[in-house]
């Protein structure tokens, strides 16, 4: 099995390199990713939203539900860590330690 | 990790030079999020870096007095309420959830230096909410992960 792993890795790497030759060139305006909706976003965002930063406009306005969800994910992660590791404030932890001793 | 390092040079560099600069840079990234690379997530991470730097060098105890953990959870909740509440306000104004066009915020242009659309102001408001949430949660994560000896 240990001998098989490098061969598999080389095989997969060769496959990726071979496939990547089919990808469109960087900055190609005729690439599929550049001809569907992205010209609309690029041209109309500043007029529609009123801010010059395309990334912020998409993040906070067109995809604001997504960003709301991301913020809730970060918040939930913090709450989970507090509940699993901290169990409240450090004052509560000190009080609990005093109870135990 | 929670001990205080008694070094004059370290304290001078961190408290006088580094932390104020990092805090100001975080606010800069937040305010200019509409015009340049940046925004709520990045500003929150930078602001949390300043808080964590204080905790690493000045000691957990002294730094925790400045940003108490219990307060940080409240601040994170306030940030989320700002974000979600912005959507609710626009619903009450007659538009869809999180549709900033309907927000009653255009009075802000009277006190600001340049005219902005309601959407730009709405984006700024939710960026503040994201900033508060991310900064508080990152600091809280460090507090609780480093408390365990």
Q: Is residue A1 less than 8 Å (CB to CB) from chain B?
A: no
Say yes or no for a CB contact (<8 Å) between A78 and B37.
no
Q: What is the pLDDT of residue B1?
A: 46
Pair B79, B130: CB distance under 8 Å: yes
Domain membership of residue B92 as a residue range: 8-147
| Average of per-residue pLDDT across B75-86 | 93
Within a domain: residue B13? yes
| Average of per-residue pLDDT across B61-82 | 83
* Structural element, H or E, at residue A66: helix A64-81
Distance of CA A76 to the CA centre of its chain: 16
Whole-angstrom distance, CA of residue B149 vs CA of residue B146: 7
Within a domain: residue B3? no
Residues with Cβ < 8 Å from A46, sequence gap 6 or more? A52, A54, A57
Say yes or no for a CB contact (<8 Å) between A71 and B134.
yes
Q: Is B98 left (phi over 0), alpha (psi -120 to 50) or beta?
A: left
| Average of per-residue pLDDT across A8-36 | 88
Within a domain: residue B66? yes
Interface contacts A/B by beta carbons within 8 Å = 104
| Average of per-residue pLDDT across A38-46 | 85
pLDDT exceeds 60 at position A90 = no
Domain count, chain B: 1
Q: What is the pLDDT of residues B19-55, one digit of tens each?
A: 999 999 999 999 888 888 888 899 999 999 998 888 8
Residue with the larger pLDDT of the pair A51 and A10: A10
Point out the residue among A48, A49, A75 whose CB comes nearest to the CB of B137: A75
């Amino acid at each position: 099995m240990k001998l098989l792993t490098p061969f598999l890795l080389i095989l997969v790497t060769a496959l990726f390199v071979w496939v990547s030759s089919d990808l469109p060139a960087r900055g190609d305006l005729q690439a599929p990713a550049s001809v569907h909706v992205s010209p609309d976003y690029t041209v109309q965002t500043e007029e529609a939203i009123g801010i010059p930063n395309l990334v912020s406009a998409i993040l906070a306005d067109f995809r604001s539900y997504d960003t709301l969800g991301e913020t809730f994910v970060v918040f939930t992660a913090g709450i989970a860590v507090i509940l699993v590791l901290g169990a409240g404030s450090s004052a509560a932890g000190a009080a609990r330690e005093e109870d135990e001793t | 990790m929670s001990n205080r390092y008694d070094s004059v040079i370290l304290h001078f560099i961190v408290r006088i030079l580094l932390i104020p600069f990092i805090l100001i840079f975080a606010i800069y990234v937040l305010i200019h999020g509409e015009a340049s690379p940046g925004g709520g997530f990045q500003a929150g991470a930078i602001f949390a870096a300043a808080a964590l730097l204080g905790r690493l060098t000045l000691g957990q105890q002294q730094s925790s007095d400045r940003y108490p953990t219990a307060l940080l959870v409240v601040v994170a909740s306030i940030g989320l309420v700002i974000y979600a509440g912005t959507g609710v306000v626009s619903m009450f104004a007659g538009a869809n959830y999180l549709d900033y066009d309907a927000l009653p915020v255009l009075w802000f242009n009277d006190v600001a230096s340049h005219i902005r659309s309601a959407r730009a102001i709405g984006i700024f408001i939710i960026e503040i909410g994201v900033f508060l949430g991310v900064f508080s949660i990152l600091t809280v994560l460090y507090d609780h992960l480093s408390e365990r000896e």
